[in-house]
Amino acid sequence: MIDPSGKLPGRGAYLHDQKSCWVKALKGSLAHALRTTIQEQDLATLRVFMETLPEGESSDEEPMSA
């Protein structure tokens, strides 16, 4: 689940709002950080969100929680 506020309860991982960070994370480092296996349906949801992110440098905003 994507939590732009970073306030939802439970285990989370912070990712910058930059597509390159998400590409790397979805290759396996996110699952490792969360200490779980991410189901294919959830990966698909995260990939759809990733496609809305900018290609270039991260903005000055705080990292998002996933």
Taking the CA atoms of residue 21, residue 57, residue 11 and residue 23 in that order, the dihedral angle to the nearest 10 degrees is -20
Please, what's the largest Cα pairwise distance for the chain? 31
pLDDT at residue 41, as a whole number? 96
pLDDT tens-digit readout, 27-60: 999 999 999 999 999 999 999 999 999 986 545 4
Confidence category of residue 64, pLDDT binned at 50, 70, 90: low
Return the ∠ at Cα 42 (arms to 52 and 23), rounded to 5°. 45
Residue 48's identity, in one-letter code, is V
pLDDT at residue 56, as a whole number? 66
pLDDT tens-digit readout, 9-25: 988 899 989 999 999 99
Confidence category of residue 63, pLDDT binned at 50, 70, 90: low
CA-based torsion, 47, 3, 25, 16: positive or negative: positive
